[in-house]
Structure 1
Amino acid sequence: MKAVSKPKALVKLFISAKKKSIRGELVLITGSGHGLGRATAYEFAKHQCNLVLWDINKDGVEETAEECRRLGATAHAFVVDCSKRKDIYKTAEKVKEEIGDVSILMNNAGVVAPIDVVSTDDHDIQKIFEVNIIAHHWTTKAFVPTMMRNNHGHVITVASTGGHIVIPFVVPYCSSKFAAVGFHRALTAELTALGKHGVKTSCVCPMFIKSGFVKNPSSRIMPPMEPEYVAKQVMKGILTNERMIFIPPLLKFILMLDRLLPDRAAAALWGLHEIKFDYVIGYKDEEN
């Protein structure tokens, strides 16, 4: 039996994965008031999902919900501060009591502070970690147990290229996104160890998105992408249960080179990209 299964597994590597149906699933997206969260909500709406939308911005999340309804989906908007554990748990209980069991969880909310790490305000560093990674643990504890009992669901972690490579002047952000990638991988391994193969996981790692997250982003080889394009790529990955979704796809190849090349060559590789965005340098050498 083992001799037969290995060739089958090898053949599957070269065959496009079959897309699953997510029609009727209850999807919760954090940070869905703008940018990628909003664009992905629209994609889920087009697949006739039921949506639970969280964001700290009341007007933004309600606008997203209204458009999702126009697209034919059921959408519920909640104002939630993902930096606050109690706010997450309280709203999660309300969702479960009033709407139902979430079967697709997309941890998308994120914050950034483009400034040198020495000059970054302590509160900003703390909030970056609270929103970008610690909140994932609270949403997971709130919603994933039901997925595990049903052995059905999908957890999507929105990380970043900054979760695989280092970028100056966003040190706390990169640190939190490296943690998000690790969270995804560890959660995936734990679900497998528990035999919960029906609960799928995906990690989204995009390059710059034109969402205003950082100002004036640019890259010579991989220019900033529209949120709508990224959302479509995210949906393709979700529907085929892709574990690591790199956007654009070229990014996967570049990251492989980064790991294989010597340090100098890897640095030269990223130098060719000319990655730029607006940031502040508050640090100054002390005068003697």
Structure 2
Amino acid sequence: MEERAANNIGRMLAWEFALRGANLILVDLDADGCANLADSIRDIGQAVKIYQCDLTKRDEINRVMADVLRDVGNVDILVNNAGIVSARRLQDCPDVIIQRVMDLNIMASIWMTKAVLPGMQQRNYGHIVNIASLTGFIGIGGLVDLSTSKFASVGFSEALHCELSQMKKDIKVSVVCPSLLDRGMFEGAKSRFPSPLQPKYAISEIMKGILQDQEVIFIPWYMQFTPILKAVLPVGAFNAIVSFSTGMDIMKNIKGSKNSSLL
């Protein structure tokens, strides 16, 4: 199951930015889904450009982003939202899917960021938003590939923020770390605590965090204490809490585990 600009959280974020007066650039493999979204957004008077792109391919990203910069000009806010989950144990997950998860969940964010960063640095203005996950702070059994990619996303965001600060560039970097959502690629997932997030609440918190230039946006807010608990508790105790909270087989009901299109 994938998260993209034309679907689920990506679609809702696009609407939130449009309602705040932003002109949008949608980069997605799903051209038809983007076209439907774009038509709706144009009805409220905002400009939308669509670029079809397979975000698992670096050369295609570079080509498309060159077109974007030529056609539109500078990008003020980049939201790296594309993501995929296999919801299979490591040994049961085909190598081709693991590679796709890494290409889409982290490498696409790096290539997209590299494409827009020169313009942001030149203007000393911009905002990079990486949609990660609470699994970027907590390793979850059954989600090894996802956790690996989201840990990378958190580290990428932190290091990029540090690098830009050292360069004295006023470019914001935010990483979004929600718990499980009850829609999109985690639809069907079960969790004792916290309960799966309602999309409207998640989008509201994401937008609030972006507008406040928060470096790490935890959703729900109290999950910001997770890294502290992880640091102070014995490993066994922390793992026991995680196992109890998520259940022993979190990927069992995730619809992404049954989506053959991942291949």
TM over 0.5: yes
1:135 equivalenced with 2:108 (yes/no): yes
Q: Determine if contact 2:15/2:41 at 8 Å carries over to the other structure.
A: yes
Distance in 1, matches of 2:187 and 2:201, equals 19
Alignment of 1:49-198 (within 5 A): 49-196=22-169, 198=170
Match of 2:260? none
Distance in 2, matches of 1:136 and 1:200, equals 15
More helix by percentage: 2
For structure 2, the 5+ residue unaligned runs are 258-263
1:277 to 251, 256, 260: 251
Return 150-159 or 208-217, whichever deviates more: 208-217
Runs of 4+ in 1 over 3 A off after TM superposition: none
Distance in 1, matches of 2:162 and 2:226, equals 25
Match of 1:211? 183
Q: Determine if contact 1:46/1:72 at 8 Å carries over to the other structure.
A: no
Matched residue SS, 2:185: coil
Following TM superposition, by how much is the alpha carbon of 1:148 offset from its aligned partner in structure 2, in angstroms?
A: 0.6
Distance in 1, matches of 2:95 and 2:239, equals 30
Match of 2:261? none
Following TM superposition, by how much is the alpha carbon of 1:199 offset from its aligned partner in structure 2, in angstroms?
A: 0.6
For structure 1, the 5+ residue unaligned runs are 1-29, 281-288
Match of 1:249? 221
What residue identity is the alignment partner of 2:47?
T
Following TM superposition, by how much is the alpha carbon of 1:161 offset from its aligned partner in structure 2, in angstroms?
A: 0.8
Distance in 1, matches of 2:120 and 2:168, equals 12
Q: Determine if contact 1:42/1:67 at 8 Å carries over to the other structure.
A: no
Number of equivalences: 250
Matched residue SS, 1:218: coil
Match of 1:200? 172
What residue identity is the alignment partner of 2:147?
C
Match of 2:201? 229
What residue identity is the alignment partner of 2:156?
F
Q: Determine if contact 2:177/2:216 at 8 Å carries over to the other structure.
A: yes
Distance in 2, matches of 1:210 and 1:274, equals 14
TM-score by length of 1: 0.82
Following TM superposition, by how much is the alpha carbon of 1:248 offset from its aligned partner in structure 2, in angstroms?
A: 0.9
Following TM superposition, by how much is the alpha carbon of 1:176 offset from its aligned partner in structure 2, in angstroms?
A: 0.8
What residue identity is the alignment partner of 2:130?
T
Residues 1:250 and 1:177: Cα distance change in structure 2 (over 3 Å):
same
Cα distance per residue 1:124-161 (max 9 Å; x no partner): 11111111111122111111110011000000011111
Following TM superposition, by how much is the alpha carbon of 1:180 offset from its aligned partner in structure 2, in angstroms?
A: 0.6
Q: Determine if contact 1:215/1:277 at 8 Å carries over to the other structure.
A: no
Q: Which has the larger radius of gyration?
A: 1
Q: Determine if contact 1:210/1:226 at 8 Å carries over to the other structure.
A: yes
Match of 1:11? none
Matched residue SS, 2:130: strand
Distance in 1, matches of 2:56 and 2:198, equals 27
Following TM superposition, by how much is the alpha carbon of 1:219 offset from its aligned partner in structure 2, in angstroms?
A: 1.4
